Structure 1
């Protein structure tokens, strides 16, 4: 799910320390860490078993520059002493789409329950469609979305019992021009929209659904100078591993001083 955008791994660790503790009345919460996440920056992770894939589970093509950055990250991890193997969890891409519908039902439900019902005339086409599909949804639709979540979560959990980390590209394509993903396209249903955005970003949604911790690191650049990210995913409650390995990569392949040809300081 959404988190902070940080310039350094240390900043991300401090932010996680600040917001990760549960509130008193929270029904669900993640396992507490052994210590502050900020103390994991610079700590040795040991020799880890890292699985790597650049193949999207939906079968959509991945840009060669994007795949190349992930492959480079895998080689860097090998140089750092980790065991890197090409392997991938057996994730059902259509189950990811169906599971993501639960989030859309939640968004639509919040709008329907708001003190002031939204005016469809003031909404983009996709928001109108989500609102209509939520209003028409039944308990069976909700149960189907929950079942799809389990069909995504189980193979990921089993896979991360065999490996300490999974390495993938963050996105499947280079940064797209503004308007490429058009929220006002009237031809989309909620599911067709999810499939469209997952064509562009096919690697991250499964872990939003499964709840496994993940981090995106901008270790590469396109030929145009735009950032290319890689994603690391760990088992439940192993944010400590993510921070340790992310800090290793940050030290070995620093990115926070890298600037594109055109930026706000020029």
Structure 2
């Protein structure tokens, strides 16, 4: 079909993912901490109170470390964190088991390329007739 196919299984640094997630939550909570009228902690849920405590303890160095973690995560996980167009297609599987998916990533703004590739792959390897043993059935 004129496309290069590369099988890849990126190693995900889950500690770095959590560091990024925490930094994002801290950035959101910091807006509350900096507001002229802070929310009454007694009226907040426990998770929100804990987040505000974590945000108070987070330093500029913690945020810089999180930016480094974000850089590592986006380079390893790819399209999801970068906002690049990607599509996952159920190209394998059998015996009623779960489908095996393939993720295809395109350059920014090239969703059209993903749709054309998906169309060709579906023509070559139709998947609309395959249903795993456990699934939501169409009516």
Q: TM-score, normalised by structure 1?
A: 0.38
Tell me which residue corresponds to 1:49.
4
Aligned residue number for residue 45 of structure 2: 119
Q: 1:132: how far off? A: 4.2
* Deviation at residue 128 of structure 1 after TM alignment: 7.2
Q: Distance in 1 between matches of 2:30 and 2:130?
A: 41
Residue 225 in 1 paired to residue 117 in 2?
no
CA-CA distance at 1:224 after TM superposition: 5.1
Q: Say which structure, 1 or 2, has more relative contact order (CA 8 Å, 6+ apart).
A: 1
SS of residue in 2 equivalent to 1:141: helix
Identify the match of residue 109 of structure 1 among 29, 54, 58. Answer: 29
**TM-aligned CA distance change 1:51 to 1:226, over 3 Å:** closer
Aligned Cα root-mean-square deviation (Å): 3.8
Three-state SS of the structure 1 residue aligned to 2:63 is helix
Unaligned runs of 5+ in 2: none
Which of 107, 112, 115 lines up with 1:240 in the alignment? Answer: 112
TM (norm. structure 2) is 0.62
Instruction: Please tell me whether Structure 1 or Structure 2 has the larger radius of gyration of its CA atoms.
Output: 2
| Aligned position for 1:90 | none
Distance verdict in 2 for CA 1:110–1:257, change over 3 Å: farther
- Structure 1 regions of 5+ residues with no counterpart? 1-45, 59-92, 157-202
Select which of 44, 48, 54 maps to 1:133: 54
| Greater fraction helix | 2
